[in-house]
Structure 1
Amino acid sequence: MSGLPVADRTVVRRAALGLIAVDRRAVVVMLVLHSAAAVAGLATPWLLGRIVDQVAAGAGAAAVDRLALAIGASVLAHGLLTRYAQYAGHRFGERAVARLREGFVARTLDLPISVVERAGTGELATRSSVDVTTVGSTVRDVVPVMVIASAQLSLLFGAIFLLHPLLGLVALTGLPSIVAVTRWYLRRARPAYLAEGAATAELTEALTTTAEGARTVEALRLGADRIAYGRQRIGRVWATRRATLALRSVFFPVVEASYALPIAVVLLFGGFLLDRDMVTLGEVVAAALYLQQAIEPLDRLLQWMEQAQRGLASFARVLGVGQQAEPAAAPVTAGTPRPRGPGTVRSGRLVVRDARFSYADGHDVLHGIDLDVRPGERLAIVGPSGAGKSTLARLLAGIDAPREGVVSLDGRPVTDLPPAERRRRIALVTQEHHVFIGTLRDNLAFAAPEASDEQMRAALVAVSADWYADLPDGLDTQLGDGARELGAADAQQLALARLVLADPHTLILDEATAALDPTTARRTERALAAVVTGRTVIAIAHRLNTAHDADRVAVLEDGRITELGSHDELVHAGGAYAALWNSWHG
């Protein structure tokens, strides 16, 4: 369903190492504290073994009391060190998650719009919420647990070897079955969790599209169809989760059964060595206690390994977003020419040659389009609904690439331009718009972060946004949910003001004033006409007065340009445009 890839193991490993490298000091502190906590935890079994040997040797109560005090001190030290180790681990995890979220947002914003549309709302929503949250909990909770568990296990088995090498070898008898089942599990876990993530994204997409189109569903009585489709998506999620559960139902029982074996073998073999005076009773007791103590970190390590596999699969999906993004353009520096103000014709010859385009179904929407838009020209594209006007606008803006042919800007294919450069040079404004939660200044600064308050006010005046004068706090007025909400017409004017501030040399207006009433739309179009002087303007014209004011008019019918010329020329020609004009004027 989605056009978004999934990162491979090499990319995931490199990115994980990058998260560690960027905060290596915190990682070192975390490892030192966890290691110290594990060492402190080793003292208790050894001291208990010493007590057994002391009692067997007939030592007095004073010696036993000293050892008992030492046990208390080691328990206290272990608790304090563990507490600060977990604190350091959580701080590292939160910083890593913050960097991950910021990187994900940056990669998502670099995605071409066409990729976002093909991916669907559910895919991006799942990756930005469920997957990022899963990775966050893995970094914040799982990694510290696995680090300390690994350190504890290494030290515990090392301590058994120090007691007696033969006891250390016997203590490893449970590892072969654990290693074997773990390898079996890891080979199957990644694809299983990736499939579960994809199924969850499809379910999210189904629920989102059904909710967004609720009125259409109700009007066309599609409720039963949408319910059936939702049940299919739920069924797939259920099947994928059953698959991961099946893996866990094999993995954990085998592991649990492997815990008791080494303790029993150590006690039996320890008794054999004790009969031959090769070990003391205290050493056998200490070895058994070390193995008993190892169950808890080993259990945590293996249990969290399941969560780690889920986290790695989510990390691969999060990183996959960046593999789809196009390379970013070089940043604008002080020596980089900025777009000049209105009134000056700038370069930017937009040429379309034999462009053909089809959507996913393979049916061509545009058929052999040829068009040469001169710098500074005002071109209107008119035609009946479904003729392909908006599709042509998307090709001109570089959102989609033609199936055949080329759309070029100054001789370079538009889709080959880095996204940042393309957005600086060509702007597409549709009737779809968004008011972000924040101040009016924040909403305008998206188009031009360096714009002054005076420039922002001038942009609002340029598009006849008279409502600005009534705002209680001017540019500092809060907009969006829970604050002042703009009507459709006001929000559209805000979008046009952003366009003025962005100052591209080519403007593509696709129903840009459709949300405005005729009087306001006409006033806004006149204001824009003064602002866009010297720029190339391509307008998808639904009100033919826009075509009347243009330098040339292109008539699009059934995906083909059938007429091209000035308003007067086409009216005198008596063709399709003349019929539209006469119909418009009754």
Structure 2
Amino acid sequence: MSLRRLYWTTLAGQWRGGLVLLLCSALEGVPAFFSGRLVELAVDRGFAAGSPATGLVWLGLFGLAALLGALGSRMVWHQLGQVVEPLRDELVTAVVRGVLHDESPPRNQPDASGVARITQHVEVVRDATGGLLVQARGTLVTTIGALAGLVTVAGGLVVPVAIPVVVAVTGFACLLPSLARRQRAAAIAEEHMAATAGASLAGLRDVVACGGEPIATLAVYEAVDAQARAAVRVARSGALRSLVISVGAFVPLLLALVLAPGMVARGELTAGAALGALVYLATTMQPALRGLAATASTVVLRLLVALRRLSETARVPAVQDGDARPRGSDVRLRGLTFGWGAAAEPVLRDLDLDLRPGDHLAVVGPSGIGKSTLAGLVTGMLTPQEGRVLLGGVPVRDVPPALRHELVALIPQEAYVFAGTVRDNLALFAPGASDAVLLAAVTAIGADDLLRRLGGLDGTIGHGGEGVSAGEAQQLALARVYATSARVVILDEATSHLDPPSEARAERAFAARDGVLVVIAHRLSSALRAHRVLVMDGRETVLGSHAELLARSVRYAELMQAWAPVTGEAATEVPLPAGNAVPAGADVVRRHRVSRTTRAS
């Protein structure tokens, strides 16, 4: 499904709100249709006929029509959010999905261009859609009402008034392609400026340390200048557009002022009809035409440009999901290869690995070597460039998302908690779980003291996790997944803010569930508790037990000896192995070289 199709499908799904807007539009158009006619009657049958009271009555009806129109406008604004807000939610989802599936994303730092797409382009689409539903719709209703009223009051003025309007609209249509190109160029320049400034600010310490301030400053200045030039070009096109609009808006009024006196003198119009025609043109038609042209040249153009730009970067969910059904919860990796970008050195190359229910695997290695990337591949969030990830004998990406989310759970380092009750946070992935199940999960993880401090399951958590520390948020995230039926659980440094005893209790609790447990180790004590350890060091990926790897793997022994003196925890003391010998019990899963500059999680 394309993004434009998603746009129209989402709007069509809000048909009830659209129907209310249509009814409100009819009410809003009441003064546009009756204004000139009521003024004509007030003059011809009231003031000109020597009956001021009658004229005031007609003017009073004019005021009543204006009040009805104002009521319609108020109802329009009241209903607008029910149509526009669901659209924004869908677009933000599409943008986030596009950011997550970017082939060359900025790793370990914010995606400034992705943020720009959400805060600029999505908001442009939202505001433009709201503007069209309010302004263009109201302008169209007003214009139709004014034309219909003008025909009933002064039909002889319709043709000469329509000629300059047609000329102006035609000229304006010829300007639209140029306006669209310049608006798109301005949007791309805004994204480039945001990405350049975001990259410079995110790496400010490195820039200063390397003495690269002049280069970084020049890059930001060039991006700002490019954005300014694009904005100036858009402004110049806007000025020309305003000139064309003025021709279509003011010339009809001037023609009416020139022609009306002669038509009154010849008896073709009454004085009241002439005044009513001027009311239609000056107070209704002219503002309507200017508003319609302004909306088409700014709102519509920005809407089309933003949708096109979002279509180039966002991802819309596929219509058909996979329908494969896993046979069990074992995980098999075969020939797995993945790199961040087509030209980047793979962080995983030709990796084989088997995990069965009851397995407890720890993944260790230097930061940035690809451990979190491995987690993303196992969960199906990332697609391997080569090889396969099988869940229960079927490709994990072919498993329907809803079923995959039930079977596989990933707990990241940054735990997510939201404003609401503790029960709501714990039952996020298991909404049907009973209080007994939630309490058992809390106890298993060792978070009973935290639950009591928060006031039990009915206790509340503030916005952004207010009142909950980073470690407590991790405990809630662990208990949240423990309460689910997930058979494959991956802890991606999910206990980094816990003290060692709490970390050990949480890992043992998940290991006792008899599913597959993968722990991306924050502390090497996790390797001591695991059945097997996968060592990733950029040269080779080695699999074995703690004792086997400690005896034979140079990298693993170095990591253990560097960790134990700092933490005070004891590791089995053996001499460092000579060379890269690996025992028969340890599997060299696959040897591969990894560039130290490769972007990896």
Aligned partners of 1:555 and 1:456: how far apart in 2?
Answer: 35
Does 277-286 or 535-544 show the bigger shift? 277-286
Residue in structure 2 matching 1:547, options 510, 520, 527: 527
Kept in 2: contact 1:369–1:560 (CA 8 A):
no
Once the two structures are superposed, residues 40-94 of structure 1 have per-residue CA deviations (whole angstroms, 9 ceiling, x without a partner) of: 3232443366369x84xxx5x13xx255224312321222111111111112212
Aligned to 1:7: 3
Aligned to 2:67: 80
What's the offset of the Cα at 1:265? 3.0
Aligned to 2:24: 30
Aligned to 1:526: 508
Aligned to 2:282: 292
Aligned partners of 2:363 and 2:487: how far apart in 1?
Answer: 18
Aligned to 1:43: 37
Kept in 1: contact 2:36–2:150 (CA 8 A):
no
What's the offset of the Cα at 1:215? 6.4
What's the offset of the Cα at 1:95? 1.8
Aligned to 1:479: 461
Aligned to 2:299: 307
Aligned to 1:538: 518
Once the two structures are superposed, residues 289-310 of structure 1 have per-residue CA deviations (whole angstroms, 9 ceiling, x without a partner) of: 4322321222233333323443
Question: Quick check: 1:371 aligned with 2:371?
Answer: no
Kept in 2: contact 1:329–1:418 (CA 8 A):
yes
Does 252-261 or 111-120 show the bigger shift? 111-120
Q: 1:71 to 1:238 in 2, by over 3 A?
A: farther
What's the offset of the Cα at 1:208? 5.7
Question: Quick check: 1:421 aligned with 2:421?
Answer: no
Residue in structure 2 matching 1:355, options 336, 357, 360: 336
What's the offset of the Cα at 1:458? 1.8
Q: 1:39 to 1:542 in 2, by over 3 A?
A: closer
Aligned to 1:152: 142
Kept in 1: contact 2:337–2:350 (CA 8 A):
yes
Aligned partners of 1:356 and 1:210: how far apart in 2?
Answer: 31
What's the offset of the Cα at 1:574? 6.2
Does 439-448 or 310-319 show the bigger shift? 310-319
Aligned partners of 1:438 and 1:461: how far apart in 2?
Answer: 21
Secondary structure of the residue aligned to 1:539 is strand
- Note the residue ranges of structure 2 that are not aligned, 5 or more in a row: 565-570, 574-601
Aligned to 1:342: none
What's the offset of the Cα at 1:202? 4.8
Aligned to 2:593: none
Aligned partners of 1:396 and 1:505: how far apart in 2?
Answer: 13
The count of residues paired between Structure 1 and Structure 2 equals 558
Kept in 2: contact 1:353–1:371 (CA 8 A):
yes
Counting aligned pairs with the same residue, the percent is 27
Secondary structure of the residue aligned to 1:22 is helix
Q: Give the residue type in structure 1 aligned to 2:328.
A: S
Residue in structure 1 matching 2:494, options 488, 512, 524: 512
Kept in 2: contact 1:465–1:493 (CA 8 A):
yes
Does 398-407 or 410-419 show the bigger shift? 410-419
Aligned to 1:251: 241
Q: 1:544 to 1:144 in 2, by over 3 A?
A: closer
Once the two structures are superposed, residues 164-187 of structure 1 have per-residue CA deviations (whole angstroms, 9 ceiling, x without a partner) of: 544211111211332123313433
Aligned to 1:98: 85
Aligned partners of 2:150 and 2:521: how far apart in 1?
Answer: 83
Q: 1:450 to 1:240 in 2, by over 3 A?
A: farther
Q: 1:426 to 1:226 in 2, by over 3 A?
A: farther
Does 413-422 or 125-134 show the bigger shift? 125-134
Q: 1:210 to 1:322 in 2, by over 3 A?
A: closer
What's the offset of the Cα at 1:376? 3.0
Question: Quick check: 1:493 aligned with 2:475?
Answer: yes
What's the offset of the Cα at 1:232? 4.0
Once the two structures are superposed, residues 195-219 of structure 1 have per-residue CA deviations (whole angstroms, 9 ceiling, x without a partner) of: 4444445555556666666666677
Matches within 5 A, 1:154-553: 154-163=144-153, 165-204=155-194, 227-270=217-260, 278-280=268-270, 282-293=272-283, 294-305=285-296, 306-311=298-303, 313-314=305-306, 323-326=315-318, 347-360=328-341, 361-468=343-450, 470-480=452-462, 484-530=466-512, 533-541=513-521, 543-553=523-533
Question: Quick check: 1:556 aligned with 2:547?
Answer: no
Aligned partners of 2:400 and 2:206: how far apart in 1?
Answer: 38
Once the two structures are superposed, residues 149-171 of structure 1 have per-residue CA deviations (whole angstroms, 9 ceiling, x without a partner) of: 22222232333334454421111
Q: Give the residue type in structure 1 aligned to 2:536.
A: L
CA RMSD between the two structures: 3.8
Kept in 2: contact 1:12–1:312 (CA 8 A):
no
Kept in 2: contact 1:48–1:286 (CA 8 A):
no
Secondary structure of the residue aligned to 1:23 is helix
What's the offset of the Cα at 1:551? 3.0
Secondary structure of the residue aligned to 1:348 is coil
Q: Give the residue type in structure 2 aligned to 1:254.
A: V
Kept in 1: contact 2:409–2:490 (CA 8 A):
yes
- Note the residue ranges of structure 1 that are not aligned, 5 or more in a row: 332-336, 340-345
Once the two structures are superposed, residues 108-140 of structure 1 have per-residue CA deviations (whole angstroms, 9 ceiling, x without a partner) of: 777784459949544454454445554554455
Q: Give the residue type in structure 1 aligned to 2:35.
A: G
What's the offset of the Cα at 1:189? 4.0
Secondary structure of the residue aligned to 1:324 is coil
Aligned partners of 1:105 and 1:328: how far apart in 2?
Answer: 21
Kept in 2: contact 1:94–1:136 (CA 8 A):
no
TM-score, structure 2 length as denominator?
0.80
